[in-house]
Amino acid sequence: MEAPRDEVFQAIWDSDRWPSWWRGVESVVTLEEGDEEGVGSLGRYVWKSRLPYRLEFDTRITRVERPHLMEGQASGELAGTGLWRIYEEDGVTAAVYEWNVRTTAPWMNLLAPIARPVFAWNHNVVMGWGAEGLARLLGTRLVAHG
């Protein structure tokens, strides 16, 4: 998107505000505060997507390197790590999210071998909603997503 990296990073870093601009994020609740950059903080996230279920998991922020990197450890219905990398070049900022998690809900684990493509599609839809919402929040043009 055509926005400064600092603004993109700040919007992603401030996850308590996600429900106001990111379709699919039903709620974010801070359970524990971290340091001034948020390292050590713990948040509970509830997501709703195109599929008829909700996901609830906690994420503890484990690393913040402002304005280009943020990492967290998820637990709950999803378990694993998430890593945001924010790049800027020639006035265009890209936010890349690496989400390496496994499901813990028995029904999802049972369906995973055959439903993996549907779960991946669903994740991509929700991330697209985030890209669109972030562009609206920052009043900028979304160059590409997906």
CA distance 27 to 142: 24
Residue 146 has pLDDT above 60, yes or no: no
Task: Say if CB 71 and CB 49 are below 8 A apart.
Answer: no
Query: pLDDT tens digit string along 16-74?
Result: 999 999 999 999 999 999 999 999 999 999 999 988 889 999 999 999 999 999 999 99
| pLDDT per position as a tens digit, 97-140 | 999 998 898 888 888 889 889 888 998 999 999 999 999 999 99
Determine the longest span between alpha carbons in the chain, in angstroms. Answer: 46
pTM assigned to the model: 0.90
DSSP-assigned states of every residue in 81-131: EEEEEEEEETTEEEEEEEEEEEE-SHHHHHHHHHHHHHHHHHHHHHHHHHH
Predicted local confidence at residue 68, as pLDDT: 95
Residue 145 pLDDT exceeds 80: no
pLDDT value at residue 91: 86
The residues, any chain, with a CB within 8 Å of residue 67's CB and separated by 6 or more, are 5, 6, 8, 9, 10, 86
CB 8 within 8 A of CB 31: no
Specify the pairing of strand 92-103 against strand 42-48.
unpaired
Of 116 and 146, which is predicted with more confidence?
A: 116
d(CA 64, CA 126): 23
User: What local confidence, expressed as pLDDT, does residue 107 receive?
Assistant: 85
